[in-house]
């Protein structure tokens, strides 16, 4: 039982990369010129021609009308750039309307018309233009018409045109691959929304599953209106195997929002007991209609997920591609990752957050709740409430809304809704780091000494850092009496020989750019920024749960195949010594992950980089919060490592941290930019804050203006939870 979105993901991903090689630090294309056009193809099928597999639906055409109204009335999209193919259920005859009005056959979503509209838009649109495709209807599986490619007993997947079940004319995966490839080959920016699946099953009275009851085992002709079979197979092989290097470019832009995961159902239901809609489509348009301009796909996705999961916990939409792109736009935003509010119970003053133990949450941690469309998580005036974690699971946590007497915010909690964002304002006690401010350097010529003129400046310089650290929630100063009692500092700050602040972890950290001169009055705040960044980085490093029942079931290994090229067969072998891995810059390696557990695992990989950055590696190129790894499934993700291309790095140490959970989990709020570079933003990106401190806090998803709550004994990793685990691979990269 799989949903149709999975094969479309493969199509998009292959069109977006050279093979399925993970491109580290992907290129972010510039926005199209202001004169670029927007085209929309909307396909909705309620009425299917009589067939034995696909019964008619009730909300698909209503979905398309809802999207079309938004485009024409809100976005002011000209009618000549909006194409609709719909099949409505016939209205029963009545005395007033004895016959149905005539229907233009070219507007029906038949197989031939769908192919023709794809081809027409591809011809009409110009490079840099955007194409939006929305499909609401059934997805299906049918016995393959390409047995030499897939095997005689395998299946093709596709969308089901209105004549599909009757005539066997599915728009199959190989055909869709070619149609989408033609668009991206032309330089079009493609967005696709799929409100469908192909799984059948039990239904409830107020909802339907958008999928056939079973796979179609009928043998059909392989004739196609898209292309000759040779071209379809060739394009499919390029997608599946990667193709020759350079044949497909890296700089393609896409976003895809799908109704559910491969093993789930996509539902349509009567919203508020009224008209029936696809759950994905309804909440997508509802979110857009009630949000400010500038919403990103990631923010849209967060609210849609929260709304759908509250009604159908077994349906989790999936987002892939450029989540930081503005919805229906081309501008890119520097995302501020936070935790999503999943449920709200104002009667009990409780919210549920979409993160838990596996993301480092602990009981007693406090979060600020911001509105869905907030663009600055550093502005306390925008906060709706302060909440405190009271109970926690592997991937979710329950938090109470704090009253004013306990540090909460008055009369704002009524604005909290699913999809709002939660940003940590107090670090768990176990994550608070201690820093020693060392002002006892002597004059001399040695590395540990200072020029005479700097010796007398140490005390004042470090007092400025002490002032900057006051009342922050992540880093506290280690006092002399605490050091004498045996406590140790995680960091040391001192003055360097060049008159700059230096941060030490045993030895001074190299390559911190730009230098922070003690003569600059803003440098002390910069030191505090970097200490907070380091605290977050090391907190992620320490996330662990070795006693989980999942630990033994998760296999993680970095492997080598020196002569591998995109498009060739993978025959990777383990490194001779897995505990001492060295790879050359540019060498292609493979991250192998296998699930030996009896249930699917949701897997994500964080790259803990030598520049003190944390990024997420898209498994098999899938740019999504996680990859659902089926029981006994094994995947190989090609990776290419590089020594950071800045002066001072000759070798680099890197860690790949693999997380596996039974429940859906999102680790993006743990991501960090590089510490040794200034936070830079493209000219077309949305600005969050004018201050350097605000930029850093936006990037790491945490405030530093409140001291941590010490009234509770916070537990960083709870052993009893058996629903998540993590493993890691360490390696050294050499030129």
Rounded to whole angstroms, the Cα distance separating 436 from 425 reads 23
* Partners of residue 257 on adjacent β-strands: 193, 319
CATH number at residue 570: 2.60.40.10
Cβ-Cβ contacts under 8 Å for 693 (sequence gap 6 or more):
378, 525, 528, 529, 704
- Is it true that the peptide bond before 514 is cis, omega within 30 degrees of 0? yes
Mean pLDDT value of segment 412-426: 78
Starting at the earlier edge strand, list the strands of the sheet with 573-574: 573-574, 554-560, 588-595, 634-640
Last residue of a domain, one of 540, 565, 596: 540
Which of residues 273 and 103 earns the better pLDDT score?
A: 103
Tens digit of each residue's pLDDT (9 = 90 or more) over 481-519: 887 777 889 999 999 999 999 999 888 887 787 899 999
Using only C-alpha atoms, the chain has a radius of gyration, in whole angstroms, of 28
Cβ-Cβ contacts under 8 Å for 175 (sequence gap 6 or more):
115, 158, 224, 226, 227, 232
Torsions phi, psi of 213, nearest 5? Answer: -70, -25
Q: Are residues 205 and 277 in the same domain?
A: yes
Would the pLDDT of 205 be above 60? no
Tens digit of each residue's pLDDT (9 = 90 or more) over 547-606: 788 988 999 999 999 888 776 788 999 998 888 899 998 888 999 999 999 999 999 999
Q: Are residues 265 and 408 in the same domain?
A: no
Q: Are residues 307 and 356 in the same domain?
A: no
User: What pLDDT, on the 0 to 100 scale, is given for residue 263?
Assistant: 65
- Hey, which of 117-121, 150-154, 527-531, 550-554 has the most confident mean pLDDT? 117-121
Cβ-Cβ contacts under 8 Å for 41 (sequence gap 6 or more):
83, 85, 117, 118, 121, 131, 132, 133, 134
* Partners of residue 254 on adjacent β-strands: 190
Mean pLDDT value of segment 292-299: 79
User: What pLDDT, on the 0 to 100 scale, is given for residue 452?
Assistant: 94
Which of residues 151 and 1 earns the better pLDDT score?
A: 151
Which of residues 602 and 673 earns the better pLDDT score?
A: 602
Would the pLDDT of 198 be above 60? no
Starting at the earlier edge strand, list the strands of the sheet with 491-495: 475-477, 433-437, 491-495, 501-505, 507-508
CA atoms 535, 536, 540, 545: torsion sign:
positive
Report the 3 state secondary structure along 151-172.
CCCCEEEEECCCCHHHHCCCEE
Would you state the structure tokens that stand for residue 507, as one six-digit string? 């030895």
Q: Is residue 653 part of a domain?
A: yes
Q: Are residues 59 and 154 in the same domain?
A: yes
Taking a C-beta distance cutoff of 8 angstroms, is the pair 316, 264 a contact? yes
Q: Is residue 410 part of a domain?
A: yes
Mean pLDDT value of segment 20-29: 30
Would the pLDDT of 150 be above 90? no
The CA-atom distances, in angstroms, between 490 and each of 312, 378, 432 are 45, 26, 10
Q: Is residue 693 part of a domain?
A: no
Taking a C-beta distance cutoff of 8 angstroms, is the pair 662, 602 a contact? yes
User: What pLDDT, on the 0 to 100 scale, is given for residue 670?
Assistant: 80
User: What pLDDT, on the 0 to 100 scale, is given for residue 285?
Assistant: 93
The burial of 642, by beta-carbon neighbours within 10 Å (0-12 exposed, 13-18 middle, 19 or more buried), is given as: middle
User: What pLDDT, on the 0 to 100 scale, is given for residue 139?
Assistant: 84
Helix (H, G, I), strand (E, B) or coil at 147: helix
Q: Are residues 388 and 276 in the same domain?
A: no
| Structural domains in the chain (count) | 4
User: What pLDDT, on the 0 to 100 scale, is given for residue 199?
Assistant: 37
Q: Is residue 47 part of a domain?
A: yes
Cβ-Cβ contacts under 8 Å for 667 (sequence gap 6 or more):
358, 359, 604, 606, 616, 625, 626, 659
Other beta carbons within 10 angstroms of residue 457's beta carbon come to: 15
Residue 325 confidence class, pLDDT cut points 50, 70, 90: confident
Would the pLDDT of 68 be above 70? yes
Which of residues 11 and 338 earns the better pLDDT score?
A: 338
Q: Are residues 293 and 355 in the same domain?
A: no
Range of the structural domain that residue 535 is part of? 431-540
Residue 250 confidence class, pLDDT cut points 50, 70, 90: very low
Q: Is residue 698 part of a domain?
A: no
Select from 484, 462, 388, 384 the least CA-distant residue to 428: 388
Quickly list DSSP for 345-387: ETTTTEEEES--GGGT--TT-EEEEE-TT-S-TT-GGG--EEE
Q: Are residues 439 and 424 in the same domain?
A: no
Q: Are residues 230 and 92 in the same domain?
A: yes
Which of residues 692 and 198 earns the better pLDDT score?
A: 198
CATH number at residue 162: 3.40.50.1460
Q: Are residues 255 and 349 in the same domain?
A: no
Last residue of a domain, one of 321, 353, 385: 321
Q: Are residues 506 and 604 in the same domain?
A: no
Residue 522 confidence class, pLDDT cut points 50, 70, 90: very high
What is the percent of the chain where pLDDT is above 90?
30
CATH number at residue 424: 2.40.10.410
Last residue of a domain, one of 413, 429, 445: 429
User: What pLDDT, on the 0 to 100 scale, is given for residue 168?
Assistant: 75
The separation between the first and the last C-alpha atoms of the chain, rounded to the nearest angstrom, is 46
CATH number at residue 522: 3.40.50
The number of angstroms, rounded, from the C-alpha of 337 to the middle of its chain's C-alpha atoms is: 9
Rounded to whole angstroms, the Cα distance separating 204 from 96 reads 34
Prediction pTM value: 0.59
Other beta carbons within 10 angstroms of residue 546's beta carbon come to: 11
Q: Is residue 226 part of a domain?
A: yes
Taking a C-beta distance cutoff of 8 angstroms, is the pair 416, 425 a contact? no
Tens digit of each residue's pLDDT (9 = 90 or more) over 609-664: 888 889 898 887 666 788 889 999 999 988 888 888 766 678 888 999 999 988 87
Other beta carbons within 10 angstroms of residue 72's beta carbon come to: 14
Residue 356 confidence class, pLDDT cut points 50, 70, 90: confident
User: What pLDDT, on the 0 to 100 scale, is given for residue 274?
Assistant: 77
Q: Are residues 182 and 209 in the same domain?
A: yes
Range with the poorest average pLDDT among 269-273, 420-424, 450-454: 269-273
Would the pLDDT of 177 be above 90? no
Average pLDDT value for the chain: 78
Would you state the structure tokens that stand for residue 726, as one six-digit string? 């993590």
Taking a C-beta distance cutoff of 8 angstroms, is the pair 60, 150 a contact? no
Q: Are residues 205 and 308 in the same domain?
A: yes
Q: Is residue 121 part of a domain?
A: yes
């Amino acid at each position: 039982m799989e949903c149709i979105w999975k094969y479309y993901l493969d199509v998009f991903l292959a069109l977006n990369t050279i093979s399925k090689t993970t491109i580290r630090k992907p290129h972010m294309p510039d926005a199209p010129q202001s004169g670029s056009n927007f085209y929309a193809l909307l396909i909705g099928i309620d009425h299917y021609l009589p067939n034995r597999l696909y019964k008619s639906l009730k909300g698909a055409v209503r979905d398309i009308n809802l999207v079309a109204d938004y485009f024409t009335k809100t976005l002011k999209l000209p009618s000549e750039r909006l194409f609709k193919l719909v099949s409505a259920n016939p209205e029963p005859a009545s005395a007033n309307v004895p016959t149905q009005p005539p229907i233009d056959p070219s507007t029906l979503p038949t197989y031939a018309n769908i192919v023709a509209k794809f081809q027409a838009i591809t011809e009409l649109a110009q490079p840099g233009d955007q194409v939006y495709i929305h499909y609401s209807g059934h997805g299906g599986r049918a016995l393959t018409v390409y047995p030499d490619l897939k095997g005689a007993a395998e299946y093709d997947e596709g969308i089901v045109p209105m004549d599909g079940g009757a005539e066997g004319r599915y728009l199959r995966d190989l055909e869709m691959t070619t149609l989408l490839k033609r668009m991206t080959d032309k330089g079009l920016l493609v967005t696709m929304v799929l409100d469908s699946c192909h799984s059948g099953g039990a239904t409830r009275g107020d909802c339907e599953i958008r999928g056939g009851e079973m796979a179609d085992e009928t043998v059909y002709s392989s004739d196609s209106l898209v292309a000759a079979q040779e071209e379809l197979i060739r394009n499919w092989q390029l997608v599946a195997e990667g193709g020759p290097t350079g044949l497909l470019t890296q700089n393609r832009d896409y976003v895809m929002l799908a109704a559910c995961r491969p093993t789930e159902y996509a539902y349509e239901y009567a919203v508020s007991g009224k008209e029936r809609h696809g759950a994905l489509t309804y909440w997508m348009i509802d979110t857009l209609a009630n949000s400010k301009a500038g919403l990103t796909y990631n923010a849209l996705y967060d609210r849609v997920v929260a709304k759908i999961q509250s009604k159908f916990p077994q349906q989790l939409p999936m987002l892939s591609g450029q989540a930081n792109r503005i919805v229906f736009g081309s501008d890119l935003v520097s995302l501020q990752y936070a935790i999503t509010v999943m449920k709200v119970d104002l009667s009990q003053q409780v919210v549920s957050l979409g993160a838990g133990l596996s993301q480092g949450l602990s009981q007693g941690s406090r979060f600020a709740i911001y509105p869905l469309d907030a663009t600055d998580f550093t502005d306390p005036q925008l906060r709706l409430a302060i909440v405190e974690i009271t109970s926690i699971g592997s991937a979710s946590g329950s938090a109470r809304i704090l009253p004013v007497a306990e540090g909460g915010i008055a009369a704002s909690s009524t604005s909290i809704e699913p999809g709002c964002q939660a940003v940590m304002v107090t670090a768990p006690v176990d994550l608070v780091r201690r820093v020693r401010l060392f002002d006892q350097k002597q004059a001399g010529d040695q590395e540990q000494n200072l020029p005479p003129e700097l010796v007398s400046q140490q005390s004042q310089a470090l007092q400025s850092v002490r002032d900057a650290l006051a009342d922050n929630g992540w880093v506290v100063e280690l006092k002399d009496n605490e050091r004498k009692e045996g406590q140790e500092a995680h960091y040391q700050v001192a003055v360097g020989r060049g008159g700059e602040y230096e941060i030490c972890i045993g030895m001074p950290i190299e390559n911190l750019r730009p230098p922070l001169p003690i003569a600059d009055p803003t440098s002390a705040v910069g030191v505090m920024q970097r200490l907070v960044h380091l605290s977050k980085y090391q907190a992620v490093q320490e996330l662990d749960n070795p006693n989980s029942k999942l630990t033994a079931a998760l296999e993680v290994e970095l492997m080598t195949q020196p002569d591998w090229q995109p498009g060739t067969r993978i025959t990777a072998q383990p490194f001779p010594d897995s505990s001492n891995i060295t790879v050359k810059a540019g060498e292609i390696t493979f991250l192998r992950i296998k699930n030996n557990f009896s249930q699917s695992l949701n897997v994500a990989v964080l790259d803990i980089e030598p520049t003190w950055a944390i990024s997420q590696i898209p498994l098999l190129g899938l740019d999504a919060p996680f990859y659902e790894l089926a029981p006994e499934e094994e995947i190989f993700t090609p990776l290419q490592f590089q020594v950071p291309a800045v002066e001072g790095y000759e070798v680099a140490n890197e860690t790949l941290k693999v997380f596996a959970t039974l429940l859906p989990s999102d680790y993006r709020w743990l991501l960090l930019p590089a510490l040794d570079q200034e936070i830079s933003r493209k000219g077309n990106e949305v600005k969050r804050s004018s201050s350097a401190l605000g930029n850093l806090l936006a990037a790491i998803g945490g405030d530093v203006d409140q001291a941590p709550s010490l009234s509770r004994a916070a537990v960083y990793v709870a052993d009893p939870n058996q629903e998540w685990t993590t493993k890691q691979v360490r390696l050294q990269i050499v030129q």
